[in-house]
Amino acid sequence: EDKVVQSPLSLVVHEGDTVTLNCSYEVTNFRSLLWYKQEKKAPTFLFMLTSSGIEKKSGRLSSILDKKELFSILNITATQTGDSAIYLCVPNDMRFGAGTRLTVKP
Amino acid sequence: KAGVTQTPRYLIKTRGQQVTLSCSPISGHRSVSWYQQTPGQGLQFLFEYFSETQRNKGNFPGRFSGRQFSNSRSEMNVSTLELGDSALYLCASSPGPQETQYFGPGTRLLVL
């Protein structure tokens, strides 16, 4: 059965810290993995990863995929309170996991 | 380009009633997926439509149904509403199946 496991489930840090969010997946016919950020509204798209070892970056956020180990990480450097959200990793079958709830304290 | 639109934005119903929610995808997008979000269960996949055909279905009872029209607009219907159906219902569109999805603002349903 396809599944997505994100860890940690919840994380509390202070502004300026760097965080790493983990996502492991088991998906048949894997094509891509997407990361979303969800605050109080609908999820917003962050990254789409299709190839192993190629880092995608957007400002303080970056993500990388390991297709051999079925694993992806999302890094956020110099965290800000506005980074507080639930971060969701989603394989191409679009089944969402529970996500990681990140809280950044001032 | 206009984003995904959902109507209505808010809805209050009573148990036993039925409800229809509407979703208009981004222009040119042909795939529409529906999700239910509750505080306890998180985001859960309902179904995915592409070219008026249901491609995937989540683990929801038959009271939850949907359809897609030729212009890619989609509706979902919930019959015999239960209190537990109170949730935010999100629609997401993508150019095609298994491509990046863009979410609408959601319809918040409250069942009393």
Q: What is the pLDDT of residues A90-106, one digit of tens each?
A: 887 666 777 999 999 99
- A31 touching chain B per CB within 8 A: yes
Contact assignment for A43 to B33 by CB distance below 8 Å: no
A51 touches chain B (CB under 8 A): no
**Rounded-to-integer distance, Cα B33 and Cα B23, Å:** 9
Amino acid at A5: V
Q: Is the Cβ of B104 closer than 8 Å to some Cβ of chain A?
A: yes
pLDDT in tens, B62-104: 999 999 999 999 999 999 999 999 999 999 999 988 788 899 9
- Please list every residue in chain B whose beta carbon sits closer than 8 Å to the beta carbon of residue A95: 45, 58
Q: Positive or negative CA dihedral for A23, A4, A91, A101?
A: negative
Chain A within 8 Å of B60 (Cβ-Cβ)? no
Per the rule left: phi > 0, alpha: psi between -120 and 50, beta: everything else, A79 is beta
Amino acid B57 reads: K
Which stretches of chain A drop beneath a pLDDT of 70?
1-2, 93-95
